[in-house]
Amino acid sequence: MHIHPLEKRWAAISLLLVGTLGGLIVYTAVAMSIHPPSNVEAIDSTRLHLTPEFSEENLGVKREKDGTVVARVVMARFMVVPHEITVPAGVPIVLRVATPDVVHGLHVAGTNIGTQVVPGYVSQVRTTIDFASVARIGVRNADGSVTVPLFCNEFCGLGHQSMWGRVIVTPK
Ligand code: CUA
């Protein structure tokens, strides 16, 4: 069988490209330990509702014994539980998010909160919300707090667009 030299060359180039990209994946996984963002903490996603931390009654915002404010959220197709959380601005907060099904993305408008939520892992974000930046884009409430939306920003299925919630930020 005769293969045209030009065709041979392009076949070699495309094989080289595939090899390079495959090699990069292996390299980043092994040498750079690329892992789900923010936190390497495994959890059994199929039994999320049975874990003490992500059971329904434990979700939402709590002040831990050491004083840190921790918000626990479950992102599932196609909702965010709880639908609304209230967090203070100007103090360090911790967001802990898990999913029982597929990959979701968490984004809170007006803040730097943005993480993938990968099944099998707990995604954790440590941040301090700047009240001025949420006030610029959020809706001001009668009590002086500001409401900003929370979105799923990773396509997760046919109900992806209905995965949203509210974050009420209280001034310091
Ligand atoms: Cu969850 Cu898109």
Whole-angstrom distance, CA of residue 43 vs CA of residue 17: 36
Looking up tokens 């009654």, which residue turns up?
Answer: 57
Which amino acid appears at position 86 of this protein? T
Instruction: Tell me the CA–centroid distance for residue 86 and ligand 1, in Å.
Output: 21
In tens, the pLDDT along 100-149 reads 999 999 999 999 888 999 999 999 988 899 999 999 999 999 999 999 99
Instruction: Tell me the CA–centroid distance for residue 151 and ligand 1, in Å.
Output: 8
Atom 1 (ligand 1) nearest CA: 104
DSSP structural state of residue 47: G
In tens, the pLDDT along 16-71 reads 999 999 999 888 878 766 555 557 788 999 999 899 999 999 999 999 888 789 99
Whole-angstrom distance, CA of residue 111 vs CA of residue 74: 19
Which amino acid appears at position 16 of this protein? L
The fold for domain 45-170 equals: Immunoglobulin-like (2.60.40)
Q: Does 100 sit behind a cis peptide bond, omega within 30 degrees of 0 on the bond before it? A: no
Q: What's this model's pTM, rounded to 2 decimal places?
A: 0.76
Domain locations along the chain: 1-32, 45-170
